[in-house]
Amino acid sequence: MSDVTAKPVAPLDEVMLAMDVVDTLRHRQDLVARELDSVGKEQQLIARLREIYHQQGIEVPDHILREGVAAIADSRFAYTPPAPGFGTTLARLYVGRKRWGKPVLVAATVLLVAMIGWFGVWQPYQGNVAEQARIELAEGLPAQMDAIYQSIYEETKVQSAVVQAEDLRQRGKAFAAEGNREGAEEMVARLEALRDQLRQEYTLRIVNRSGVQSGFWSFPEINTEATNYYVVVEAVGADGNVLELPILNEETNQIETVSMWGVRVPESVYDAVAADKRDDGIIQGGEIGRKSYGFLDVEYNIQVLGGAVTQW
């Protein structure tokens, strides 16, 4: 048989009594503080407890009362909160997860979706757009300028068009190299306008319709003693339709796109046109010029003074 003798297990009723004693002491902290404040008062506390239970009709053995007092004195059943720290904070968060878990999950989901949208979709898209714009400015627009210049070079019949086209192309490529997209695109537009001007074919004739002036005169603002004379003209294409053309107004120095405008002529030409119309109401020599393919300007068959107006 072993030399070690097992400690007998306390009966259940004694265990319950001991728990009750401790509970009573916990709820009577004033009594504990008063009776245990000095050494040798343990017996007084036990006596006081015995009296409390006796008043309730309960007889509690002294050894159970002593065990309860000893447990209280040793703070055996006292709760000591854990010291603040990272682990304690995590533990408290975990315990309260039902309270904050759902809002945090929703917020985390929204944040995740936003980050995926920003880093996974928006930024790549913006980067792709920026890269395409860079390639267009560095390669696309210069190539477009070269193509238009080549068309002008091949189609023109006057050297002045090639000179203008080369100047526009060089300026456009300089803008592109500087990163000036607006300037480069403007040069492309001007090259296209020059090419289109070369390709135009039309007849320039004096307007001869009822209710429309065929000519007029005016006093220029810069010299009111002089008189300017104009014949009203329109450009008629090969299909018989009247064209709208960009015309520089010499009075405002602005380019306007119009279907009729006044060409400045000498007084003698103006008088001849007026006499022609007075004769029978029809201007016999109505065609005053022709714009041919490959040329920039109209070839006039009357004398003109090189100015035009768009309003009168």
Asked if 250 and 191 sit in the same domain, the reply is: no
290 inside domain: yes
Asked if 206 and 289 sit in the same domain, the reply is: yes
pLDDT at position 62 over 50: yes
Instruction: Tell whether pTM > 0.95.
Output: no
- What residue numbers bound the domain in which 61 lies? 12-73
Which single residue is written with the structure tokens 């709208």?
244
Measured CA to CA in angstroms, residue 15 lies from 10, 52, 58 at distances of 7, 19, 15
Number of domains making up the chain: 3
Asked if 222 and 246 sit in the same domain, the reply is: yes
Contact between residue 227 and residue 219 where contact means Cβ atoms under 8 Å apart: yes
Asked if 230 and 177 sit in the same domain, the reply is: no
How many CA atoms are closer than 13 Å to the CA of 205, on its beta-carbon side? 17
Phi and psi at 230, nearest 5°, equal -135, 145
12: pLDDT confidence band, cut at 50, 70 and 90?
very low
pLDDT tens digits, 106-142: 888 888 888 888 877 787 777 777 778 777 888 899 9
pLDDT at position 306 = 87
123 inside domain: no
21 inside domain: yes
pLDDT tens digits, 78-91: 556 777 878 778 77
pLDDT at position 1 over 60: no
10: pLDDT confidence band, cut at 50, 70 and 90?
very low
Asked if 303 and 208 sit in the same domain, the reply is: yes
Contact between residue 290 and residue 249 where contact means Cβ atoms under 8 Å apart: no
Strand partners, 206: 233
92 inside domain: no
Asked if 154 and 176 sit in the same domain, the reply is: yes
Which single residue is written with the structure tokens 């009577």?
28
